[in-house]
A = this chain, B = another copy of it.
Amino acid sequence: MKFLLFTLFGIVQFLSLASGKSIPKNKFSHKSLKEMKEEIAGYEDVAESLINLAVYGKAKNRSYERLSYFIDTVGPRLSGSKNLDRAIEIMYKNLQQNGLDSVHLEPVKIPHWERGEESAVMLVPRLHKMAILGLGSSIGTPPEGITAEVLVVTSFDELQRRSPEAKGKIVVFNQPFVSYAITVQYRTHGAVEAAKVGALASLIRSVASFSVYSPHTGNQEYQDDVPKIPTACITVEDAEMLTRLASYGKTIVIQLKMGAKTYPDTVSFNTVAEITGDKYPDQIVLVSGHLDSWDVGQGALDDGGGSFISWEALSLIKDLGLRPKRTLRLVLWTAEEQGGIGALQYYRLHKGNISNYSLVMESDAGTFLPTGLQFSGSERARDIMKEIMGLLKHLNVTKVFTGGEGTDINFWIQAGVPGASLSNDLFKYFTFHHTYGDTMTVMNPKQMNVAAAVWSVVAYVVADLEEMLPRT
């Protein structure tokens, strides 16, 4: 993925993930854990106020209502689309009207890919129209489509073993769903692996925890030295059926048509707003979600929810008239789905200030009822985070898990900044992720209230502690 990004922007020479300025030691927490516990205990009243406002008070259901109006009237927000432009414009106005500080847009060059018309029909052994979703950055087929015999495999290993059979065929990957991180390798690299052994196209079982004949889209990555072939996801149901038909000894022929096309890069923006810190304004706690989505569904779950609870976190803090010591910065990323394009641009622009980043937060894995916080950071930082999560005991959301990575904050995490995300029901998340079913129907106002409360308490307390979170 990185290779693709670098060549896309020609910025290899600027980027050095592991570096960063030398960090003045005195910013970071030197207090004993006992001292930290005492300091954090002082936030019990503020935490209660944020929770009450978000869950029971005037702001109850606000993030859901803001989101549903936005989603229902704007729709999906694909990188390079007019809808995304409109979404950014609306959010810019929303954040200004909310009275947040330093509302501004930071320009980013982003990819513009469109899927066009697409179809797949099994012609042999019987006529069967298949649901497909072409993968982001895939090339299209010739207008008459690609009609070819099918080789079905269940793993890259099986493809290697059977590579002599792949030439001139459409390779179907029917890999089981293990976890998103593991199984998504087939979506990301399936076309390249199939092309290496001479396939004409690749069809990949959707990366899904559950399916009602639901194709899932997503990004894929070509390699410069491997021929580009068209690639799409099919449903779990069809992938399994193709495996069974092959096991009966049936010849399978599929006709694949894809009108996918990549247009020149366009200009987009990361949308930024702040509550400027009143003691250490240069120091940052970053709270974020991404505003772009795929072109199917409405991008409610991925990542309308994450964007809107991140906005809500700042709204809640502002409603209470609070201003933390360091700056709370909301960033609504653009073009996350194409590989964190907006986030990379932000990192390039701001990494000179990396020593001032206390915590980077991203909500991009669901805003259902949170079970706790996922956190990546040193043991000492984790101990502090556990104390902070203790402030959420009345919501019963106090756990601190490992994890916390996210496409848009990984640049910072890899460079040593602690990162956080919400932990919730990933089975549900990956049922709807990147499908037509990513709509407001999967969102729940009560769950969003709790998610926003957790998000705001963590963001506020970390931004207001006397010292920054320690690094390794």
Contacts and interface: CB of A to CB of B under 8 A. Distances in A.
Contacts of A440: 237, 240-241, 244
A69 interface: yes
Nearest to A122: B75
A456 interface: no
B214 A439 contact: no
Contacts of A245: 72-73
A299 interface: no
Nearest to A236: B441
A162 interface: no
Contacts of A250: 73
A241 B436 contact: no
Interface in A380-409: none
B75 A436 contact: no
A189 to B, nearest CB: 25
Interface stretch (A27-35, A123-131, A145-153): A123-131
A165 B26 CA distance: 70
A437 interface: yes
Interface in A126-167: 126-128, 131
A217 interface: no
A439 B72 contact: no
Contacts of A244: 68, 72, 440
A248 interface: yes
Interface string A405-440: 000000000000000000000000001100111011
A297 interface: yes
Range of interface residues on chain A? 20 to 34
A170 to B, nearest CB: 18
A437 B211 contact: yes
A298 B130 CA distance: 12
Nearest to A71: B241
A439 B69 contact: no
Contacts of A436: 131, 212-213, 237
A295 to B, nearest CB: 11
Nearest to A131: B436
A126 B437 contact: no
Interface in A237-288: 237, 240-241, 244-245, 248, 250
Given A69-B248, A244-B68, A126 B214 contact: no
Nearest to A244: B72
Contacts of A248: 69, 72-73
Contact of A435 (B69, B210, B212, B439): B212
Contacts of A73: 125-126, 245, 248, 250
A439 B128 contact: no
A-B pairs with the 8 shortest C-beta distances? A212-B437, A213-B436, A213-B437, A237-B439, A212-B214, A237-B441, A212-B212, A240-B441
25 contacts: A68-B244, A69-B248, A72-B245, A73-B125, A73-B248, A75-B126, A75-B127, A131-B436, A210-B212, A211-B437, A211-B441, A212-B431, A212-B432, A212-B436, A212-B437, A213-B297, A213-B439, A214-B214, A236-B441, A237-B436, A237-B437, A237-B439, A237-B441, A240-B440, A241-B439
Interface of A: 68-69, 72-75, 125-128, 131, 210-214, 236-237, 240-241, 244-245, 248, 250, 297-298, 431-432, 435-437, 439-441
